[in-house]
A and B are shown apart, each in its own frame.
Chain A
Amino acid sequence: DVKVTQSSRYLVKRTGEKVFLECVQDMDHENMFWYRQDPGLGLRLIYFSYDVKMKEKGDIPEGYSVSREKKERFSLILESASTNQTSMYLCASSSGQGSGELFFGEGSRLTVL
């Protein structure tokens, strides 16, 4: 069974803290993505990666960075968390073939106080 695993389901952090969200996929997919989901705004793309060491900005990259040192792992980093980064964060991967279907992890609910 294919799987995208996000390391933390729920996190509570304080303003200014550095936050790491980890994501691992076991499908040998080339592409990996980080989205955030907010009520009324849908899923918005933060960053994505087509290959190891590669990264591309999505629609809302400000305040975030990413790291992809290995093909199966894609990390999202909040250098200095702020309250407006309280959100549900979703990692996804795709093979880049067919319909472009994404496989999502279960999400990480981050609350910044």
Chain B
Amino acid sequence: DQQVKQNSPSLSVQEGRISILNCDYTNSMFDYFLWYKKYPAEGPTFLISISSIKDKNEDGRFTVFLNKSAKHLSLHIVPSQPGDSAVYFCAASDLATDKLIFGTGTRLQVFP
């Protein structure tokens, strides 16, 4: 049973426009939600996180929104740049177990 889902395997966006990546979860006990970015042949790198008690967190071009009633979060990238082209993983943290549960990833391609 997949507790964290990313239903869009890929997304293509023009440079300068907004990229919106979506993630759904099933467990209301998650404490934090995190986004990771991964380039080919490299390990994932942390991008941004949000506590379950907040509904928005912003860091430069990246904003994460959390809708607890819908068990949904999204990552907004504005403006999108070609260097943002990567696979983005949504993850949920259960601090009681210190484990991160990852979604299946969304491949973002930003074209000129």
- State the CA gap A28–B14 with chains docked (Å): 42
Measured as residues with beta carbon below 8 angstroms from the partner, the interface class of chain B is 20 to 34
* Chain B minimum-CB-distance residue to A45: B99
Measured as residues with beta carbon below 8 angstroms from the partner, the interface class of chain A is 20 to 34
- State the CA gap A11–B38 with chains docked (Å): 20
| Interchain CB contact under 8 A, A106 and B9 | no
- State the CA gap A105–B43 with chains docked (Å): 5
For chain A residues 54-93, which have a beta carbon within 8 Å of chain B? Answer: 58, 90, 92
Option from B51, B95, B103 in Cβ contact (under 8 Å) with A42:
B103
- State the CA gap A79–B89 with chains docked (Å): 30
- State the CA gap A94–B104 with chains docked (Å): 21
| Interchain CB contact under 8 A, B98 and A107 | no
For chain B residues 31-46, which have a beta carbon within 8 Å of chain A? Answer: 31-32, 34, 36, 41-46
**From residue B25, how far is it (CB to closest CB) to chain A in Å?**
13
